[in-house]
Structures are given as structure tokens and as C-alpha cells.
Structure 1
Amino acid sequence: MKELVEFLARSLVDHPDQVRVNEVAGEQTVILEVRVAPEDVGKIIGKQGRIARAIRTVARAVGARAGKRVEVEILDGGGPATAGR
């Protein structure tokens, strides 16, 4: 899951070397924190949050196959960007 989200994020941004995905695993929930360069946040979120929503949908589908609930948070250093939820 983490590798998939990292691959998708790196494919979308101008600074792929600055993409970091941190996985916080609980018993039934996995939180994936995606950090990108501040100028790339818009590329990850997309117009009206469409790209962020698509990334979350793919991650949830993969998590469902593994029996886990997956949340994807997009961070820019200042905190979560909530568009597309």
C-alpha cells in the first residue's frame, strides 16, 4: 500500500525526491501520511480534490483486499490538507 501511494505521488509531482510516505499502522486502520514539497501540494490534491480523492480510492481498495481500513493524509509541512475528502 505504502509503495503504491508513494509511486503515484512521485509520478505526479515536479520534485519526486521530496515525496515521503509515512505509514502509521493500527489494529484495523492504516494511515498513510504523504508529504510533498509545498509547491507540489496542488498537484497532489488536483482540481476540486479529484486527484486526492482518486489516490484515496485506490488506497482504500487495496486496503479492503487486505482487510484494513486505509486513510490517506496529504501534508505539506504545516499540517494536513483536507481537500478532496
Structure 2
Amino acid sequence: MKQLIETIVKPIVDFPDEVHVDVVENTSTITYQLSVNKADMGKVIGKQGRVAKAIRTVVYAAGSSQQKKIFLEIGE
């Protein structure tokens, strides 16, 4: 899943080397924390959050086979 998020985000941003995904796993949830360069935040979020929503939709669909709830947090 981490590789999927990086594959989606890296072509969008200006600084692909600064794209990092951290995984925090609990008993019932998996949280992926996406961090990008501050200048790229607008590109990842998109107008009215459309790009972020699309990324989350793909990630949630890919992770639907797992027994845990998946979350994607986007930050700097």
C-alpha cells in the first residue's frame, strides 16, 4: 500500500524525492501518513480537495480486502 501511495503522488509533485509515507498500525486501524514538500501541498490536495479525495478513494479501495480500517493523512 505504501508503494501504491508513492506511485500515485510522485508524478504529481515538483519534489518527488521528498515524498515519504509512514505507517502507523494499531489493533483495528492502519494509518498512512503522507508527507510532501510544503510547496507541493496544494498539488496533492487539489482544488476543493479533489485530488486528495481521489487518492484516498484509490487507497481505501485497494485496502478493502484487509480486516483493518485504513486512513490516509496528508501533511508537510
Q: TM-score, normalised by structure 1?
A: 0.84
| Residue 28 of structure 1, CA deviation | 2.0
C-alpha distance in structure 2 between counterparts of 1:14 and 1:70, whole Å: 27
* TM alignment of 1:36-75, pairs within 5 A: 36-75=36-75
State the partner residue of 2:35: 35
Give the aligned residue type for 2:59: A
Count of paired positions: 76
Give deviations 1:47-73, integer Å, cap 9, x for gaps: 100000011111111111122211111
Give deviations 1:17-41, integer Å, cap 9, x for gaps: 0000001111221101000000000
40-49 vs 59-68, which moves further: 59-68
RMSD of aligned Cα (Å): 0.9
Give the aligned residue type for 2:65: R
> Of the two structures, which has the highest relative contact order with CA contacts closer than 8 Å and spacing of 6 or more?
2
Q: Tell me, which stretches of 5 or more residues in structure 1 are unaligned?
A: 77-85
Q: Tell me, which stretches of 5 or more residues in structure 2 are unaligned?
A: none
Segments of 4+ moved more than 6 angstroms: none
C-alpha distance in structure 2 between counterparts of 1:68 and 1:16, whole Å: 29
Q: TM-score, normalised by structure 2?
A: 0.93
